[in-house]
């Protein structure tokens, strides 16, 4: 094997650690938070040439922040799982030897630093949320993910906080929109719960619980109609798409909780975070903004064919 081939394998290993397809779903969290902050109107102003692109600078910083935070969290997931992966998933970047555990640790640390620094460029509140996400990610990676209750809850808090990071584009709005974080908390809790059997298979009761949580999420998304600023009719097409994508796979995994069914449900569930975000975003900022968020889905799906999601 020549040097060029070795370098390619090494760089690919680093990208595998970061799960690019998953990072795209984190961008969607920021976009829905941005819409919920009231900033989604910015896109209408840009289309009508009533505003300069400079007003998107906070959004750019937040997208960079979530790239670092989510990327760092996933890298450290593999760092802490290196010993277990050597037995169960020896083809992963660290156990296969393509990336050393020291270099993976360095990469994760750099990504977290980038995420926190970028968030502080927006506001002190954004920076504080970024620090919370970092600590929550490390807690999940090192301890919580092996717990049947605190693992799903911990991961859900990471994603819910990521949505609030988007809302922090207008820090004062967080006080009014904090409850939106509960939607990804429940959704991710469902995915994390069912994912606990993706290697050796799971239990039917876990699949039933995951289905219940998904049903609650779909209900909550439409119940946001109770807010004056939210238009459920704009969100409805996206909610239907979310149900069509997620429910059949979760039902199959609940009925037959074998490893392959669970992996498929987890993969579809993770990528469908973008559909969930598009649903909520369209309710706050309109159909076209929701479609803008949804564009991330095919991009993420393409990356998922090249790099693992779970």
Q: Is the pLDDT assigned to residue 211 strictly greater than 70?
A: yes
pTM for the model: 0.88
Q: Find which of 125-134, 180-189, 250-259 is predicted with most confidence, using mean pLDDT.
A: 125-134
- Segment 295-310 shows an average pLDDT of 89
Domain ranges of the chain: 16-301
Residue 50 DSSP class: -
Cα(204)–Cα(274) distance, integer angstroms: 27
Q: Which segments within the chain are labelled E, that is strand?
A: none
Cα(238)–Cα(222) distance, integer angstroms: 11
For tokens 């939210």, name the residue: 230
Torsion, Cα of 68, 74, 79, 84 (10° steps): 180
Residues 233-286 have pLDDT tens digits of 999 999 999 999 999 988 888 888 888 888 888 889 988 999 999 999 999 998
Residue 198 DSSP class: T
Q: How many Cα atoms are found within 13 Å in the side-chain-facing hemisphere of 297?
A: 23
Residues 140-175 have pLDDT tens digits of 999 998 887 888 889 889 999 999 999 999 999 999
Torsion, Cα of 20, 89, 184, 129 (10° steps): -70
Query: Which residue from 305, 226, 237 is spatially nearest to 271, judged by alpha carbons?
Result: 305
Q: According to CATH, what is the number of the domain 16-301?
A: 1.10.357.140
Burial degree of 258 (CB within 10 A; 0-12, 13-18, 19+): middle
Residues 49-83 have pLDDT tens digits of 655 667 789 999 999 999 999 999 999 999 999 99
Q: What is the DSSP string of 233-272?
A: HHHHHHHHHHHHHHHHHHHHHHHS--HHHHHHHHHHHHHT
Spell out the alpha helix ranges (H) of the chain: 3-18, 20-34, 41-47, 57-80, 82-88, 101-120, 124-142, 150-167, 174-177, 182-195, 204-223, 232-255, 259-271, 273-285, 287-294, 296-306
Other beta carbons within 10 Å of 128: 15
**What integer best gives the mean pLDDT of the chain?**
88
Confidence grade of residue 32 (pLDDT, cut at 50, 70, 90): very high
Cα(253)–Cα(178) distance, integer angstroms: 32
């Amino acid at each position: 094997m020549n040097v060029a081939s070795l370098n390619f394998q090494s760089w690919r290993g680093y990208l595998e650690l970061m799960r690019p397809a998953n990072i795209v779903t984190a961008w969607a969290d920021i976009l829905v938070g941005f819409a919920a902050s009231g900033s989604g109107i910015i896109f209408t102003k840009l289309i009508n040439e009533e505003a300069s692109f400079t007003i998107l600078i906070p959004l750019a910083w937040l997208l960079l922040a979530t790239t670092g935070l989510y990327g760092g969290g996933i890298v450290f997931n593999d760092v802490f799982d290196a010993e277990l992966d050597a037995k169960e998933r020896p083809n992963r970047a660290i156990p296969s030897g393509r990336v050393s555990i020291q270099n993976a640790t360095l990469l994760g640390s750099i990504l977290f630093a980038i995420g926190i620094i970028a968030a502080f460029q927006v506001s002190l509140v954004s920076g504080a949320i970024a620090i919370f996400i970092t600590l929550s990610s490390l807690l999940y990676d090192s301890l919580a993910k092996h717990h049947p209750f605190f693992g799903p809850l911990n991961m859900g808090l990471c994603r819910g906080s990521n949505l609030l990071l988007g809302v922090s584009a207008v820090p004062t709005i967080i006080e009014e929109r904090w409850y939106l974080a509960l939607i990804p908390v429940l959704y991710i809790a469902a995915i994390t719960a069912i994912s606990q059997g993706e290697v050796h298979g799971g239990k039917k009761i876990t699949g039933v619980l995951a289905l219940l949580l998904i049903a609650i999420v779909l209900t909550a998304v439409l119940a946001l109609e109770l807010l004056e600023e939210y238009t459920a009719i704009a969100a409805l097409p996206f909610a239907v798409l979310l149900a069509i994508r997620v429910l059949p796979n979760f039902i199959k995994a609940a009925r037959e909780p074998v490893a392959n069914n669970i992996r498929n449900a987890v993969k579809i569930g993770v990528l469908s975070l973008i559909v969930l975000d598009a649903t909520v975003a369209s309710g706050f900022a309109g159909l076209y903004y929701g479609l803008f968020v949804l564009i991330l889905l095919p991009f993420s799906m393409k990356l998922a064919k090249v790099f693992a999601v779970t």
